Amino acid sequence: MGVVKSKRMPRAVRERQMMDAAVRTFGQLGYRAASMDEIAELAGVSKPLVYLYLNSKEELFTACIRREAKALAEAVRAGAQPGLPADRQLWAGLNAFFTHTAENPDGWAVLHRQARTHGEPFASEVAAMRDEIVAFVTGLIGAAAREAHRDRALPDRDVAGLAQALVGAAEALAGWANDTPGVSAKEAAATLMNFSWAGLENLMNGRPWQAQA
Amino acid sequence: MGVVKSKRMPRAVRERQMMDAAVRTFGQLGYRAASMDEIAELAGVSKPLVYLYLNSKEELFTACIRREAKALAEAVRAGAQPGLPADRQLWAGLNAFFTHTAENPDGWAVLHRQARTHGEPFASEVAAMRDEIVAFVTGLIGAAAREAHRDRALPDRDVAGLAQALVGAAEALAGWANDTPGVSAKEAAATLMNFSWAGLENLMNGRPWQAQA
Amino acid sequence: MGVVKSKRMPRAVRERQMMDAAVRTFGQLGYRAASMDEIAELAGVSKPLVYLYLNSKEELFTACIRREAKALAEAVRAGAQPGLPADRQLWAGLNAFFTHTAENPDGWAVLHRQARTHGEPFASEVAAMRDEIVAFVTGLIGAAAREAHRDRALPDRDVAGLAQALVGAAEALAGWANDTPGVSAKEAAATLMNFSWAGLENLMNGRPWQAQA
Amino acid sequence: MGVVKSKRMPRAVRERQMMDAAVRTFGQLGYRAASMDEIAELAGVSKPLVYLYLNSKEELFTACIRREAKALAEAVRAGAQPGLPADRQLWAGLNAFFTHTAENPDGWAVLHRQARTHGEPFASEVAAMRDEIVAFVTGLIGAAAREAHRDRALPDRDVAGLAQALVGAAEALAGWANDTPGVSAKEAAATLMNFSWAGLENLMNGRPWQAQA
DNA sequence: AATGAATGAGTCTTCATTCAT
DNA sequence: TATGAATGAAGACTCATTCAT
């Protein structure tokens, strides 16, 4: 009878709308600068409904972090194809990572920029996902080490550092690819693969990592 | 006996106290979460004096970014020793970088975490310094490529991408080293040097980059 | 027993209460000296509600000016009776004007004293209404000149000047009548009618304008 | 020895500089919007010196009102030439008034707009000057009445009302003359003289007041 | 399931005013 | 005579959050 305002939707749908709005707002403005008013309006609902479903700004932000972390981890997991050699697995994982972050810039911003910037309830929330990536890389390196028949694996802390460096390089390349016209996500992935797998010395001596080799 | 809350200090001194307090507060809480009240109290002065000298929260934050960016850039410039081979220069520069960020964790947090997270007057402020460091690394990689006497130098865009990756990795490792107890600047530098120079494949095959070689 | 601080009223009602409080406060203290706290308290609501409905101090003041200007212009329009001879119309209009300003002293103070004293967004807001009244008086004087069957009508610019003088005198008298106990609207109107219609010379020679003549 | 900064001036001179700056600032911005900082800077002295000489913002404003009121009253007194017939005296007084206010717009703004807008210490301060003008007009009318050999003078309250109307008309005409290109101060004075002395009826019947008659 | 009405608490910013020299 | 250094108090504005329906 008149304007349809899409009311009375099932809870799950409404919740998803709110989370979408929240991820977008948090990702673009940050935790503090984002306001519940803005999120509610972007979600097309009233503020009390947001509170009814998600309780508080803090819980809402936490829920966003969890959702996006899960989605990213799953994307990387799904992209990497177990059974391939370690370098091909890394290549596949990086491609999945770059593709997912390019398609979900706000989610990535929430995870990478915002969650780590705002103190304690949140930082440890992201740590879980970081640990998962670290575990993925660790596993890769372990597998590679076994392939190479080496007895001594790299120490754990070294692996954690390498994972940090890899993610940092990936994020920098993602930003650079976005800002530099003509650089595709795949090219960025190749650059990172070369950088991380072959190392600068090999690159300078004409021995890059070969995707097809 | 105890700290005398000394009064009537010359402007330059007070300004430095305020900036110190601001860097610490902004670095730990972020731009939005930090309050001018908190900064003033930490500096041991009243709020109006902060405004009298530094005009506004935005200008204060910008001043912090500029001061810390300048200090970091100068530290890296001073650490790198022109004349050495490229890998030794890189090693020296990384050491200077990680040492400075370890000694100024709040300043580094302001630059890396906070300034880039909080929109536009600030992001471009840091970008300038970052570009300077990227240019430095780009030069290093180019020089190394020439030293290798290869006929075909790496294409410019590849070099730029590698530099971005290297700087991104360094940034991530600096944050990680600050947050992880027991990781020294030298260890972080070594991890990154191995990662970037030798590459993962060499690492896993027991052929790391050798600082003394 | 006593005023119940009733809650949960419809927006339109609350808005009117706020505007009433604002007109009173602005009229008595001026734009700068009036505080939003004071207005909110006088309206019986919390400050955020004032902001929710009226956005800012500036918009609130502007809204007050518009409301009071509209009310005054309508009162004068309704009071003047087209069809009467010019002097009778003027007399009727003046009576309406002085009656309205006497009944709405704060509104009049907002228009005459405060709005014109506080710079540019506001001054031009009142100017529109003032011009409307000046145009009304200009028309009256022109009509009266035509009624007098004179061949040479007064030059336009002279008429405009006279209208300005008349309105200015009316404005001053309204303020004076409000501030001086015991001066009724009718007395003010009579004083001005004598002054403007008969002129000082006639007054001093015992020939005032006669309402009934 | 370097820049002359005009220091160590006698107190009277410094005080005049401060008052000049204050009149200008108060006149343009109003009592509340004017800041002591601004006044001190415009006067070319430090703030504590303003306080040393003039004690407080309130006293400073009061001093401004007194100075400007005295100057205006003296200008009008000096312009009016006792001994002339009443209408010529009024003409001379109006000319002096218009001339003075045109030459001292800030002083006039302080008296007319600002002082009356800001509550009680100040309003009564201006009242003194208003009374002086009322007394001037009253005297004129009394003289004219004697010239006309009338026994009964106009009641006091009527005279006060007439003075209010006259000043109101004068201020309106001053504003109008300033805003309308080509209208000189003298023309404005003539318009007001006609309006107030001859009255509208006489004007419309071709019997204006004659400056030379 | 959903919302219009409402607020306590806090943040940035300004200003008149004083102290020590 | 003159000022650089400093602050208490207040004011505009925002926001996360709740209540009544």
pLDDT of residue B211: 54
pLDDT above 90 covers what percent of chain A? 36
DSSP result, A26-69: HHHH-TTT--HHHHHHHHTS-HHHHHHHH-SHHHHHHHHHHHHH
A135, two tokens: 């575990």
Are B and D touching by the rule of 3+ CB pairs within 8 Å?
no
What mean pLDDT is reported for chain D? Answer: 84
Alpha-carbon distances of D144 from A179, C115, C169, D170, D194, rounded to whole Å: 87, 39, 22, 21, 16
Amino acid identity at B43:
A
C18 touches strand F (CB under 7 A): no
A170, two tokens: 């990936």
What mean pLDDT is reported for chain A? Answer: 84
CB-based contact B100:B189 (threshold 8 Å): no
Q: A37 CA, E3 C1': separation in Å? A: 14
| CB-closest option in C29, C191, C196 to D199 | C196
C132, two tokens: 């409307």
Listed residue (D163, D157, D156, D112) closest to D137, CA to CA:
D163
Q: Which nucleotide is nearest to C49 (CA to C1')?
A: E6
Q: What is the pTM of this model?
A: 0.89
Q: How many helices (H) and strands (E) does chain A have?
A: 11, 0
Question: Whole-angstrom Cα distance, residue C50 to residue C18?
Answer: 7
Chain F: nucleotides below 7 Å from protein CB are 1-21
Question: Whole-angstrom Cα distance, residue C150 to residue A213?
Answer: 110
Q: Which nucleotide is nearest to B10 (CA to C1')?
A: F5
**DSSP letter, residue A7:** -
Listed residue (D21, B74, D199) closest to C207, CA to CA:
D199
Digit-coded pLDDT (tens) for B107-164: 999 999 999 999 888 999 999 898 888 888 888 888 777 777 665 567 778 788 888 9
Which of A40-54, A165-179, D39-53 shows the lowest mean pLDDT across its residues?
A165-179
| CB-closest option in A90, A118, A201 to B197 | A201
Q: Residue ranges of the domains in chain B? A: 65-204
pLDDT over threshold 90, residue C80: no
CA atoms within 13 A on the CB side of D102: 20
Question: Whole-angstrom Cα distance, residue A138 to residue A146?
Answer: 12
Pairwise CB contact (< 8 Å): C165 & D158: no
Question: Whole-angstrom Cα distance, residue D195 to residue C201?
Answer: 11
C45 touches strand E (CB under 7 A): yes
- φ and ψ at residue D97, rounded to 5 degrees: -60, -50
C57 touches strand F (CB under 7 A): yes
Amino acid identity at B1:
M
Is the backbone of residue B83 left (phi > 0), alpha (psi -120 to 50) or beta? left
Burial of A152 (0-12, 13-18, 19+ CB in 10 A): exposed
How many residues comprise chain D? Answer: 213
Amino acid identity at A72:
L
Which chains does chain C touch, 3 or more C-beta pairs < 8 A?
D
- φ and ψ at residue C17, rounded to 5 degrees: -60, -40
DSSP result, B142-188: HHHHHHTT-SSPPPHHHHHHHHHHHHHHHHHHHHHHHHSTT--HHHH
pLDDT over threshold 50, residue C197: yes
Pairwise CB contact (< 8 Å): C161 & D199: no
Q: Using 50, 70 and 90 to split pLDDT, how confident is the model at D7?
A: low
Question: Whole-angstrom Cα distance, residue C130 to residue C122?
Answer: 13
Question: Whole-angstrom Cα distance, residue A195 to residue A189?
Answer: 10
For residue B211, give the 3-state DSSP assignment. Answer: coil
For residue A82, give the 3-state DSSP assignment. Answer: strand
Listed residue (A35, A59, A31) closest to A47, CA to CA:
A35
Suggest the residue from B147, B164, B187, B192 to mutate for an interface test with chain A (most A CBs closer than 10 A): B164
Tokens 């500029």 identify what position?
B66
Digit-coded pLDDT (tens) for D157-183: 777 788 888 889 998 898 887 778 888
Q: C70 CA, E5 C1': separation in Å? A: 29
Which chains does chain B touch, 3 or more C-beta pairs < 8 A?
A
pLDDT over threshold 60, residue C151: no
Which residue's C-alpha is at the least distance from the C1' of F11? C35
Suggest the residue from D57, D193, D201 to mutate for an interface test with chain C (most C CBs closer than 10 A): D201
pLDDT of residue C44: 96
Is the backbone of residue D34 left (phi > 0), alpha (psi -120 to 50) or beta? beta
Q: Which nucleotide is nearest to B51 (CA to C1')?
A: E13
B98 C-beta neighbours (distance < 10 Å), count: 27
Which residue's C-alpha is at the least distance from the C1' of F18? A48
Digit-coded pLDDT (tens) for C26-40: 999 999 999 999 999
> Residues 68-97 of A near strand E (Cβ < 7 Å)?
none
| CB-closest option in D154, D160, D206 to C203 | D154
Amino acid identity at B39:
I
CB-based contact D91:D32 (threshold 8 Å): no
pLDDT of residue D145: 66
Kindly identify which residue of chain C lies nearest to residue D177, measuring between CA atoms: C161
pLDDT over threshold 60, residue D150: no
Comparing D82 with C97, which gets the higher pLDDT? C97
CATH 1.10.357.10 given to domain D65-204: yes
Task: Show the low-confidence residues of chain B (pLDDT under 70).
Answer: 1-6, 149-153, 200, 203-208, 210-213
Strand-pair partners of D82: D84
Tokens 């240019």 identify what position?
B135
Q: Using 50, 70 and 90 to split pLDDT, how confident is the model at D94?
A: confident
